[in-house]
Amino acid sequence: MIYITGDMHRDFYRLHSIEKNKENMVIILGDAGINYCLNEEDNKFKKYLNDMNIKLFCIQGNHEERPENISSYKEVDMFGSKVFIEEEYPNLIFAKNGELYNIDGKTVLVIGGAYSIDKDYRLAYGYRWFRDEQLTESEKEEILHKYSGKHVDIILSHTCPLKYEPTEVFMKGLNQSKVDKSMEIFLDKIEENIDYDKWYCGHFHTEKQIDKLEFMFGRIKLFNKDEFFPKYNRNGYEIIRDTYSQNEVMKEEVICPKCRSKDISVIKGDGFKIDGTDFIGIICNNCKKVYGFNDVNYKPNCPKEL
């Protein structure tokens, strides 16, 4: 199976629900956090991930070094195009920007990179900032020249076209006029000049769909399918995400809004990720379903749990 998810930032807890075998692959839409420290800490982390026995297909984000800038990476053929791999960690695959891959029978164009809005903070306080976080002008021109007027099935990027920017999740107090949006402007040109069926991106730590574009963050989907994973929990109950609001369900007498059964359990968050009421859903033992709430107020940078 092939899965897809958003930024991980070195937190790979969500992979534990995926069966550990080399037939399974997870596409990560940037900021995996694998090439971040650039020292022995990275090597320990890579060994841990490689030993999970799941292939990871990583798009370049903005909070990580490009694999082509690391001497241990070699460019090899895979999925009908070029990727970067270290021999010691063959399950960790890094896409090459501007390459067209054949994945699950679909043509897939990869365009990584984005601007770090916290660049000045990182430089001032000694945190990692990567000079090549965005595509160069020549890289952009080459991609536009190569694919304009053509059709690809799926586009994978880290950031999004400017026209689709999710302004509702912008950091409060940040002067947007000082944010370099050249990558988003470039992706506008890609969106206008390339015919595509589906576009996945990450970067903004939100989950939503606009037209054919989908923002992904903490949850996993089956690649090229509008289906979350896992679909069932360990007890065989079907998971139905974002179904009801807390106000609809959390009243004096808590009952299942679907079948009206009282044989239900309330699911709470972990107490750290949510502002306000931390109920995230209910389990109905009569329906044999888990219903997630659609109005849980997760704190910034905290992935949804259902």
Kindly write down the DSSP assignment for every residue of 48-89, as one continuous string.
Answer: HHHTTT-EEEE---SSS--GGGSTT-EEEEETTEEEEEETTE
CA gap 280, 195 in Å, rounded: 38
pLDDT of residue 105: 96
Q: Which amino acid is at 253?
A: E
CA gap 103, 245 in Å, rounded: 37
Burial category of 282 from C-beta neighbours within 10 Å (exposed 0-12, middle 13-18, buried 19 and up): buried
pLDDT of residue 178: 86
pLDDT of residue 271: 82
Asked if 8 and 32 count as a contact pair (C-beta separation under 8 A), the reply is: yes
Domain boundaries, the chain: 2-229, 238-293
Residue 111 burial (CB count, 10 A): 26
CA gap 1, 3 in Å, rounded: 7
pLDDT of residue 107: 98
Q: Which amino acid is at 244?
A: Y
Q: Where are the beta strands (DSSP E) in 45-188?
A: 55-58, 74-78, 81-86, 89-95, 100-103, 106-111, 151-157
Is the pTM above the cut of 0.85? yes
The tens place of each residue's pLDDT in the chain, 306 residues long, gives 999 999 999 999 899 889 999 899 999 999 999 999 999 999 999 999 999 999 999 999 999 999 999 999 999 999 999 999 999 999 999 999 999 999 999 999 999 999 999 999 999 999 999 999 999 999 999 999 999 999 999 999 999 999 999 999 898 877 888 899 999 999 999 999 999 999 999 999 999 999 999 999 999 999 999 999 999 998 899 999 999 999 888 887 889 989 999 999 999 988 888 988 899 999 999 999 999 999 999 988 888 888
Asked if 113 and 160 count as a contact pair (C-beta separation under 8 A), the reply is: no
pLDDT of residue 225: 93
pLDDT digits (tens, 9 = 90+) for 176-187: 888 999 999 999
pLDDT of residue 270: 83
> Helix (H, G, I), strand (E, B), or coil: what is residue 154?
strand
Q: Which CATH code fits 2-229?
A: 3.60.21
User: Residue 72: which of 55, 57, 89 has the closest Cα?
Assistant: 89
CA gap 270, 291 in Å, rounded: 17
